[in-house]
Amino acid sequence: MSNEIGQKPPPSILVGRFKALLKQREDDPRLRNSQPSTEEIVQIYELLLSELTCNVKPIITDLTIIAEQHREHAKGIAYAICARILEVFIFPFCKTPHHCSY
């Protein structure tokens, strides 16, 4: 059985893609021995966040897991989430910048 006690559930697709994108970075010989910067983590997070186009629980869960695994970059991740919310919910209603009253 795959749900026996002590066995981890399989990694989600989005979490796996995040790890694969980090691995690509590590494959660069110039960056191999350095930790990813907040900017790099946030860029990858934003890429995956852009796939959330409606309220899809598995994607939200995966993004939450990724954010939890990278708490040291929480401020940048939170900023990316806020920026995405503004992009999706406010900017589509703005025909030109002067129409926005935020």
3-state SS of the chain?
Answer: CCCCCCCCCCCCHHHHHHHHHHHHHHCCCCCCCCCCCHHHHHHHHHHHHCCCCCCCHHHHHHHHHHHHHCHHHHHHHHHHHHHHHHHHHCHHHCCCHHHCCC
What pLDDT score was predicted for residue 5? 57
pLDDT (tens digit, 9 = 90+) per residue, 61-73?
999 999 999 999 9
pLDDT band at 6 (very low <50, low <70, confident <90, very high): low
What pLDDT score was predicted for residue 102? 43
pLDDT band at 4 (very low <50, low <70, confident <90, very high): low
Write out the two tokens for 96.
């030109």
pLDDT band at 1 (very low <50, low <70, confident <90, very high): very low
Q: What is the mean predicted confidence (pLDDT) over 25-35?
A: 82
